[in-house]
Structure 1
Amino acid sequence: MTATTLAAPRYTLWQLLRYFLQLGTLGFGGPVALVGYMHRDLVERRGWISEADYKEGLALAQLAPGPMAAQTAIYLGYVHYRALGATLVGLAFVLPSFLMVLALGWAYQRFGGLQWMQAVFYGVGAAVIGIIAISAHKLTVKSLGRDKLLWAIYLTLLAVTVITESEIAWLFLAAGVLGWLWHAPPRWLPRSGANAVAAVQLPAAGSLLSGLDWPLLSQIGVFFTKAGAFVFGSGLAIVPFLYGGVVTEHHWLSDKQFVDAVAVAMITPGPVVITVGFIGYLVAGLPGACVAALGTFLPCYLFTVLPAPYFKKYGKLPAVVAFVNAITAAAVGAITGSVIVIARRSLVDIPTVLLALAAVLLLWRFKKLPEPLLVAGAAALGLLLYPLLH
């Protein structure tokens, strides 16, 4: 357990909840940007969370299945306020974007689709690339230092993510083992033997309840619980799994509806995986949205809170520090790779490339420029440019 964790926190639980309510309401850019905001705001600017606690949270989020940003937030809530803090922070972080996708789901069904979404996403998608690129750069510089092994792990995960367009869970575990065996090998393992082994590791009321479609809600609950329990990586990693079940297997949505659902997640703040609320709403209304969200987020909550005490208890052992640092390097490498993957899909022409570059330059030049202001400007440009170019 770190000294920061042992000492009295420099903030109240209400202050932390207020921060995560704000982040869930205004935090654009998906998981990469969100974990970057947490580091910038809670570690660098306010000093509420130690660097070690942040790294532990990020490592645990990468090791366990479920959405990375939500798990990191839950862990940071646990650091000083244990299960109560983790629970309330998780709710504060997810609730704002959940309410937004409910409203968008109602509008989508009421008005027969959201034609303006393509235009908005055209601009926002490009600006988001700039935002997450800056976040990835800051995480890289802060996490790796001059450790050649960490840089090798980082570059390997970056390349694998770009090539496969996915995050391979066992590589994070392998990276952790590699860091442990290289930097803090067990006494029974000779140093030369550790290096050799490490080299191998690299690669409502009763009346309301009676009116619900329980068989359909059960199907939704089972499917989305599987999605939350077995999909590793960032919130974006869940999209292929959702497509296979929602469109191909159960035929709940059409291809166009599914693409619109993903677009809704990208143009709303908070965790990208909140698209499950929109999908659940289209399938079975408000009950479907609630069941889908609960099924997706409950596993990630449990996978974070249950092992957290052991992370805190043994987190300063040299072997655990080496393990966590290596997994952090792998996570940052995968995050940086995902920036490239998303960029290839979002930067479709010269205007979008210019928008992304402008976002990077603005954020680089004006360190305190609010991201929501940048996103709003990009959305306005998208509404203006998209009809002219398409």
Structure 2
Amino acid sequence: MVRAFARIGCLSFGGPAGQIALMHQDIVDRHCWVEEDQFLRALNFCHLLPGPEAQQLATWIGWKLHGLRGGLAAGLLFVVPGALVILALSLLYVQAAGLSWFGALFVGIKAAVLALVVQALLRVAGRALNTGFKRWLAVAAFVALFALDLPFPLVVLGAGVVGIVVAGRNPALLALKPVSPSAEQPGIHALAVRTVGVVAIWLAIWLAPLAAIAVALGPQHVLVSIGTFFAKLAVVTFGGAYAVLAYMAQEAVNTHHWLTTGEMADGLGLAESTPGPLIMVTQFVGFIGAWRSPAPFTPLGAGLIGAALTTWMTFAPCFLWILAAAPWMERLEHARRLQGGLSALTAAVVGVIASLAAWFGLHVLFVEHRTVDLGFRIIDAPVLSSLDPVAASLTVLAFVLLFASKRGVAMTLALCGVAGVVAGAMLGSA
């Protein structure tokens, strides 16, 4: 099993869909360790939990096969290869950021990222918006985030509450399938006692590094702010990485000022090109934020601590959710109201991803922005005359590669990056 998940961790490109397909091929088809129905039920269960569903599925498979040891091994092997790669790329990024060719490379990568976000939007919408009510939920989530600037946790949790209420009154609005009675289930008391113990232990394990840093450096240090922010983010990342990226980007750029909008887009491009969960972009954010405010460490030392802390605060809770909640799987999968909440939340995620696409598009395609007072909100609007022709051309290329030529993520990123370097060289020579 360790060999299998080491291989999966090194080859898990292509986002959750590709990662889950790779796990299915290895675990279900090749080794026959888990049955098809078990795999699909576990995947549905992982969608109920905050955090990257692919890593949680890997952790559940390891837990199912070998208990605690298996869950830890599978979950860690799914994350560690990508974490090491993106750490190396983050180091390269801060060292080469002043080079002209490096900036041109990331113009192309940002264009590719915009196309990838739109592709994710269309893919999720096609799967999730199968009723008119769900489409209205998606529109409402987009308006709430992009136009009204409501807090991300309020939007997604509010959608979940709406789904729970609707599931009890008119489940057809959410296209919920009939729920068959569950077979024999474990006793609630025994499950509850075990769950409380696991949660208490893992909460202490999860928060211990943050507490130690707060004691050593003081509660106002940037590392404490980074750790606290990503701890909060870890409990609201429903719907996959794309769903939470807009909220994370706005908070990291506009509230905490750890990095710029362009650097945020660069980090997403790095995460798209590495194995492992896309939410690994959080490590890049933590690295840059700590690198910029390193005292009392060197920039390199602070960046490494920031990257390690961010990765821990983001991914350690996945073990908590799985090890505490996996024994409840048989009972939860028959809860109609819970399924309704998940269905509504998934619909809202479409609006969240649309908000992310709009936010990235405005900052990738336009060089200048100005503040506009709408009365109920001040927005950052693009200056239309500042449209970047190079970025626009590279974005068109990215859409052609992804949608017309059906190129993969890695190929699209590579070709757009090379095209950006070539365009930068031509403009420089001119």
User: In the alignment, which residue of structure 1 is the partner of 2:229?
Assistant: 227
Query: Which of residues 395, 400, 425 in structure 2 aligns to 1:356?
Result: 395
Contact 1:153–1:329 (Cα < 8 Å) also in 2: yes
What is the deviation of 1:356?
Answer: 2.5
Distance change (3 Å), C-alpha of 1:237 and 1:119: same
| Residue 128 in structure 1 maps to residue 138 in structure 2 | no
Contact 2:113–2:265 (Cα < 8 Å) also in 1: no
Distance change (3 Å), C-alpha of 1:236 and 1:312: farther
Contact 1:124–1:378 (Cα < 8 Å) also in 2: yes
**1:121-169 deviation digits (Å, cap 9, x = unpaired):** 1101111211221222111111222x22212112211232332567621
Query: Which of residues 126, 129, 133 in structure 2 aligns to 1:141?
Result: 126
What is the deviation of 1:244?
Answer: 7.1
User: Within 2, Cα distance between the matches of 1:380 and 1:388?
Assistant: 12
Contact 1:123–1:379 (Cα < 8 Å) also in 2: yes
The number of residue pairs the alignment matches comes to 332
User: Within 2, Cα distance between the matches of 1:103 and 1:217?
Assistant: 29
**1:151-208 deviation digits (Å, cap 9, x = unpaired):** 21122112323325676212222222222222334xxxxx7xxx9xxxxxxxxxxxxx
Query: Which of residues 104, 114, 118 in structure 1 aligns to 2:103?
Result: 118
User: In the alignment, which residue of structure 2 is the partner of 1:30?
Assistant: none
User: Within 2, Cα distance between the matches of 1:317 and 1:56?
Assistant: 11
Alignment of 1:218-367 (within 5 A): 219=221, 222-231=224-233, 232-233=236-237, 234-243=244-253, 247=257, 260=263, 263-268=266-271, 269=274, 270=278, 271-275=280-284, 276-280=286-290, 283=294, 284=297, 285=301, 286-299=304-317, 301-303=319-321, 305-310=323-328, 313-348=331-366, 349-367=388-406
User: Within 2, Cα distance between the matches of 1:51 and 1:144?
Assistant: 20
Alignment of 1:72-111 (within 5 A): 72-82=53-63, 87-107=72-92
Amino acid at match of 2:348: A
User: In the alignment, which residue of structure 2 is the partner of 1:199?
Assistant: none
User: In the alignment, which residue of structure 2 is the partner of 1:370?
Assistant: 408
User: Within 2, Cα distance between the matches of 1:40 and 1:140?
Assistant: 20
User: Within 2, Cα distance between the matches of 1:39 and 1:143?
Assistant: 18
| Residue 150 in structure 1 maps to residue 134 in structure 2 | yes
- Taking only the aligned residue pairs, the percentage that are identical comes to 19
Distance change (3 Å), C-alpha of 1:222 and 1:372: same
User: In the alignment, which residue of structure 2 is the partner of 1:182?
Assistant: 166
Task: Give the TM-score of the pair, scaled to structure 2.
Answer: 0.63
Contact 2:117–2:353 (Cα < 8 Å) also in 1: no
C-alpha root-mean-square deviation of aligned residues, in Å?
4.0
User: Within 1, Cα distance between the matches of 2:62 and 2:125?
Assistant: 28
What is the deviation of 1:21?
Answer: 2.8
Contact 1:136–1:332 (Cα < 8 Å) also in 2: yes
Amino acid at match of 1:72: E
User: Within 2, Cα distance between the matches of 1:278 and 1:78?
Assistant: 29
Helix, strand or coil at the partner of 1:376:
helix
User: Within 1, Cα distance between the matches of 2:263 and 2:46?
Assistant: 32
Structure possessing the higher relative contact order (Cα contacts under 8 Å, 6 or more residues apart): 1
Task: Give the TM-score of the pair, scaled to structure 1.
Answer: 0.69
Alignment of 1:379-390 (within 5 A): 379-389=417-427
Distance change (3 Å), C-alpha of 1:120 and 1:230: same
User: In the alignment, which residue of structure 2 is the partner of 1:64?
Assistant: none
